[in-house]
Amino acid sequence: MDLVTKIIVICAVSALAIFALWRTGAKDATAPQQLPYLGGGTPDTHAWQRYHVRYYSMTLLFIAFEMEMMFMYPWAVVFVEEGGKAMMEMGMFLAILSIGIVYAWREGVFRWQ
Amino acid sequence: MAVSALKRWAGKAPASVFVAIGEGMRERVERLFADPRIERAATPRHAAIFLIAGPMRLEDREDLRRLHDQMPHPRATLLWAAEVGEALGDAEKLNFTLQPADTSRADEAALDRLTRIWAELSDGERPSEPDLLHDEPPNPWQGIGPHGQGGKGMMGGTPYGRPMAMTADDLRDGLALDPYTARFGPFLPMFPPGLLLEMTLQGDVIQSAKVLRPPLPQAARDDASAALLRLARLLDLLGLPVLGHRARLAAAGDRPSSTLETLGRAIRWSGSTLAIRPGLGAVEGQGDLRTRFDDLLAVTGGSSAETRPELPESAHLSSLLPGLEWSEAMLVLNSFDDETLSALAVVKEDEDKDGHDHEGSGYMHHEHHGHGGHQGDGGHDHHAGHGGGA
């Protein structure tokens, strides 16, 4: 089957699925059904809200550690051939990364809130 | 062909029931849902049948109507020993006399009726109930304002009928983001039945809480079974529903001590006590949540539920809940016995300084007109003005 046939088949199946959803799917919700579920109570404001994702700083810290590991695996292979030179380079890399971790520590990342 | 096969399978599935628990019915309803023919839906959106169990307060009727309309079609309502006037239209009624001797027969009748309603609904024999409230947004917004958002300016609109949130300082660090103020309850499954709280949240941290309606009084058979049911609720909230179910079975049965010991050991080995932060929900004379949990656990070891000294005057949910995350707050709410909780959830009149009453007036208005959510009047116009004028 060549590429054009594949594309046509995928488009046809997608169109069919969308049509089926449109036909069988839920009709427009009425105003009482649009109310968020609060056990019978009502909200004051729209649910469109800005709030702080508190784990955000922790994900940045995770990336710092994860990048470290990502480079250390291929480095372990090279280390066998290169020896001390590779050791020095990895030491420099870790030093730079740990500055970031120390900075994050100062910013209170390790304090869960 | 395919549709009729689907209908047949749906009819064989357990009936999905959302329940609003009234006065003195909590324990019975919890035992009723141990039956495999029905399952308890967490929200009305997952339910086909709305079960209203037990006597309801007059002011809860409007909330029942809102919950009814949140259910998807096809839907049905069963009033089980509930008196709600004409609030739910001509819903099916099932009454029983509250004789302790024939509770199991009354429960069996309710189960039969629920399974029959579910079979009729899935067959398509029974017409779905129409909306009780009018299909109107809480505030008019369509076609109003330069962008059709229902008002002027960045925050002035009421898209889909509700004003946008204004910023307020977070309790934790003063970060000014959007607070979310809403009335939670009175029939939220993780709340004690009847408790209505007006809470403001930032993310999932509670900034302020105010009791609008106290929990409905509940009658427990004896102290030990009440303690076991309370333990079951806490275990459910801690994410251990299987242990919760075992505790519920122990509460319903005649409890041989060996079963209780095994249950107690299983709970201790689950490490659930360690999941509770020390000092969480501490009340003078009542200990913190961990000590209350340990007290409940001691009931499985055969000791009777410990009586705690009187609550201090100042202890109240409005000072206990702020600062807690939602999950912690739900644990705290469910850790008290009924008496202590109703002492903590006394309605304080003087708190609402600006003289607005979200309850009462709005509800009475609807009792006369027999329609509408209380979104459109009273308290909510005030909030709409707040959003628009700022």
Contact list in A for residue B183 (CB cut-off 8 A) is: 38, 41-43
Give the per-residue pLDDT at B8.
82
**pLDDT per residue over B290-340, tens digit each?**
999 998 888 877 776 566 777 888 888 999 999 999 999 999 999 988 888
Q: What value does the mean pLDDT of chain B take?
A: 81
- B5 membership: H or E segment, kind and range: helix B2-12
Closest Cβ opposite residue B70 in set A35, A48, A54: A35
Contact list in A for residue B387 (CB cut-off 8 A) is: 45
Q: DSSP code of B171?
A: T
Give the per-residue pLDDT at B99.
59
Maximum alpha-carbon separation in chain B: 72
What percent of chain A has a predicted confidence (pLDDT) above 90? 24
Q: How far is B262 from chain A (nearest CA, A)?
A: 36
Higher pLDDT, B271 or A109: B271
Best residue in B21, B59, B60, B66 for a mutation probing chain A (most A CBs within 10 Å): B66
CA–CA separation, B141 and B123 (whole Å):
40
- Buried residues in A60-81 as b, exposed as e (16+ CB within 10 A): ebeebeeeeeeeeeeeeeebee
Give the per-residue pLDDT at B368.
37
**pLDDT per residue over B277-299, tens digit each?**
888 888 888 888 999 999 888 88
**pLDDT per residue over B198-240, tens digit each?**
999 998 899 999 999 999 988 766 678 888 889 999 999 999 9
| Cβ within 8 Å of residue B192, ≥6 positions away | B26, B215, B216, B218, B333, B334, B338, B341
User: What does DSSP say about strands B168-169 and B176-177: parallel, antiparallel, or unpaired?
Assistant: antiparallel
Give the per-residue pLDDT at B313.
80
Across the strands, what pairs with B288?
none
Give the per-residue pLDDT at A26.
66
The token pair at B225 is 């079974």
CA–CA separation, A112 and B10 (whole Å):
46
Tokens 């961990």, located at residue? B290
pLDDT, average across residues B89-114: 77
**Chain B residue at shortest CA distance from A32:** B69
Best residue in B75, B180, B327 for a mutation probing chain A (most A CBs within 10 Å): B180
Best residue in A51, A54, A56 for a mutation probing chain B (most B CBs within 10 Å): A51
Rounded to the nearest 10 degrees, the angle between the axes of helix A84-106 and helix A56-82 is 170
Look at residues B68, B67, B73 and name the one whose alpha carbon lies nearest to residue B124: B73
Q: How far is B128 from chain A (nearest CA, A)?
A: 15
**Is 60 exceeded by the pLDDT of residue A91?**
yes
Look at residues B365, B374, B86 and name the one whose alpha carbon lies nearest to residue B212: B374
Give the per-residue pLDDT at B238.
93
Look at residues B199, B273, B193, B211 and name the one whose alpha carbon lies nearest to residue B20: B193
**Chain B residue at shortest CA distance from A24:** B3
Q: B347 near B209, Cβ under 8 Å?
A: no
Q: How far is B168 from chain A (nearest CA, A)?
A: 11
Q: How far is A34 from chain B (nearest CA, A)?
A: 8
Cβ–Cβ of A42/B375 closer than 8 Å?
A: yes
DSSP string computed for B28-52: HHHHHTTSTTEEE-SSGGG-SEEEE
Residues of chain B within CATH 3.40.50.12280 domain(s) are 2-123
Q: DSSP code of B352?
A: -
CATH annotation of B2-123: 3.40.50.12280
pLDDT, average across residues A84-94: 91
Q: Distances from the Cα of B273 to the Cαs of B71, B131, B192, B330, B334, in angstroms?
A: 37, 45, 22, 16, 15
Rg (CA), chain A: 27
Pick the range with the lowest mean pLDDT from B166-170, B286-290, B370-374.
Answer: B370-374
Q: B47 near A37, Cβ under 8 Å?
A: no
Give the per-residue pLDDT at B150.
79
Higher pLDDT, B377 or B35: B35
Q: Is the ipTM of this complex over 0.85?
A: no
